[in-house]
Amino acid sequence: MFSPVYTGRVLEPAYRNWKALYARNLIAVHKAHLLGLVAQRIITEERGKRIAVAIEAMESDFSYPDAIPASVEDLYFVYERELGKRIGAEDAAFLHTARSRNDMDTTVFRMALRRALLGFQGEALGMLEALSARAHSGAEELTVLYTHGQPANVSTMGHYLSAFAGEVAEDLAALADAIGTVDRSTLGACAITGTGFPLDRRGVSDHLGFNGFIVNTYEAISTSHWLTRPAAAVEALMQDITRLVADLLHKASCEVGLVTFPDSLVQSSSIMPQKRNPVILEHARIQAGLASGYCAAVRELYRNVPYQDVNEAADAPVSELLKALEFASSAVSLVREIAENIGSDEVRVRTIATAFGVTTTELADTMVRETGIGFRSAHEVCSRFVASGNDPAALRKAFLEIAGTPLPYDDAGITAILEPVRFVAVRGLPGGPAPSGMVPVFEALDAAVAGLNSDLSGALARIDSAASALERDWQGLLP
């Protein structure tokens, strides 16, 4: 009999987590394993059918007790005990032939985590699609972009948001890769060295919809990668989100005002109607921060923990990683909401561009390209222009003095060169904000989104189809 403290602090919470999060997958594992035992003639078909009938019956008429019964270690033993009551303990024990709680549990956890991760991947893809859609629709929508917190260049919402979407696409490819680490069966590894029974490891893995099984049986049980790798991948995405949010908080501040949000995302003050506080940004930062911190908490559990079967690869950390995914899910939902609702303000773009001479760089570049003077001279000419408060006469005077010839632009010409739209239009090299520059950006982004969607659909279809096959074969085993 375990001590009340141990029961209350360890066994009971684990039992509750199992009931809530893992019990359904346990049944699938029972079915696949039993089918395998029968197919490999490790147990007789007759015994297999007896067990299968009892499992099927328990599905409809058995409920786990609310609290863990005394003297039982975990939910599985509650199940086995009930099975034993129905078909005798000896037969019930045969279900566990060539299986240990080690491989059974980690496969169950992997199934639950895989489902949660694929769900999250879907939500994150939704965010990415929203960012991408907003980038497409904002391909000609002017904005100002900053370096080191200072206005630097005019660009477009499309250029800006597709840059971040590119980061997200990279994060989600890495997440898909990490999910691949989760998506592998451990059944057949038994405790750590497999078994002498002739299991069909691949067949069982296929029945459960896995992408494969971890071959080395010791690695299958001892590895932390199925927890640490997705944790790290989610963490990376969350950290990127905090960067976008920090930038948007600046762009949305009332003094800058380059981006806008509808009332449905803004908290206002009862006394100051002009105060429009897009607190959704702060909350996205917090949810992303919590998700990131919790993923790190799970990852760090393994530091200096022996490369063995340890309880770090058991219920508590898995359940906590599932909670981290809930925060991550909130964060991506909020960012998606932001992407779907963010507006821009061209008036503010022009005001800031003028006030801070954002397009003056292009005036210098244009003079170099068109008049043949050097950069140094062009910059000196432009400096004097800015110092004059953007007086065209001063510009012409400076050019004449430095270049020795008159500036070949009239006032309208100067204004045209400084026009924000033109600043964007000339930047047509690959990756620049002009339409021709954005072609390869959007092509790559669209391809990445399509690829991610296809991979995700493929994984989900594989799992669904395996579930159908499992159920069909299971029905075949039932008398």
The residues in 352-381 that bind its own copies, with binding defined as CB under 8 A, are 352, 355-357, 360-362, 364-366, 368-369, 374-377, 379
Does 220 interact with its own copies (rule: CB under 8 A)? yes
Yes or no: say if 227 and 318 are a contact pair by the CB < 8 Å rule: yes
Q: Kindly report the CA angle at 207 between 205 and 209, in degrees rounded to 5?
A: 70
> How far does CA 251 lie from the centroid of its chain?
24
Runs of H (alpha helix) within 70-100:
75-87, 89-94
Yes or no: say if 165 and 448 are a contact pair by the CB < 8 Å rule: no
**Distance between CA atoms of residues 87 and 305, nearest Å:** 41
Question: Which residue reads 């639950």 in tokens?
Answer: 112
Tokens of 257: 């005002």
Does 394 interact with its own copies (rule: CB under 8 A)? no
Task: DSSP letter for 198, please.
Answer: -
Q: Per-residue x/- marks for its own copies, 418-457, CB under 8 A? A: ------x-xxxxxxxx---x--xx--x-------------
Candidate list 36, 194, 230, 392; residue touching its own copies; CB under 8 A = 194
Phi, psi of 268 (to 5 degrees): -110, 175
| Dihedral sign computed on CA atoms, order 234, 240, 172, 229 | negative
Q: Per-residue x/- marks for its own copies, 5-34, CB under 8 A? A: xx-xxx------------------------
Candidate list 140, 203, 277, 467; residue touching its own copies; CB under 8 A = 277
Q: Rounded to the nearest whole angstrom, what is the least distance from the CB of residue 272 to its own copies in the complex?
A: 5
Kindly tell me which of 24 and 376 has the beta carbon lying closer to its own copies: 376
Candidate list 300, 346, 410, 464; residue touching its own copies; CB under 8 A = 300
Q: Rounded to the nearest whole angstrom, what is the least distance from the CB of residue 361 to its own copies in the complex?
A: 6
Write out the binding residues for its own copies, residues 30-69 only, by CB under 8 A. none
Q: Rounded to the nearest whole angstrom, what is the least distance from the CB of residue 461 to its own copies in the complex?
A: 25
Integer-rounded Cα radius of gyration of the chain: 31
Kindly tell me which of 2 and 62 has the beta carbon lying closer to its own copies: 2
Phi, psi of 126 (to 5 degrees): -60, -45
Tokens of 101: 């709680």
Write out the binding residues for its own copies, residues 224-263 only, by CB under 8 A. 224-225, 228-229, 232, 235-236, 239-240, 242-247, 249-250, 252-256, 263
Q: Residue 10: which residues within 8 A CB-CB, separation 6 or more?
A: none
Q: Per-residue x/- marks for its own copies, 315-334, CB under 8 A? A: -xx--x---------x--xx
- Span near its own copies by CB under 8 A; candidates 23-31, 164-172, 404-412, 449-457: 164-172
Kindly tell me which of 61 and 90 has the beta carbon lying closer to its own copies: 90
Q: Rounded to the nearest whole angstrom, what is the least distance from the CB of residue 319 to its own copies in the complex?
A: 10
Residue 357, H or E segment: none
Tokens of 223: 């590895």
Question: Which amino acid is residue 3, in one-letter code?
Answer: S
Kindly tell me which of 215 and 478 has the beta carbon lying closer to its own copies: 215
**Distance between CA atoms of residues 101 and 82, nearest Å:** 17
Write out the binding residues for its own copies, residues 128-157 only, by CB under 8 A. 145-155
Does 312 interact with its own copies (rule: CB under 8 A)? yes
Q: Residue 207: which residues within 8 A CB-CB, separation 6 or more?
A: 31, 32, 35, 36, 466, 469, 470, 473
Number of residues counted as binding its own copies (CB under 8 A):
169
Q: Rounded to the nearest whole angstrom, what is the least distance from the CB of residue 176 to its own copies in the complex?
A: 11
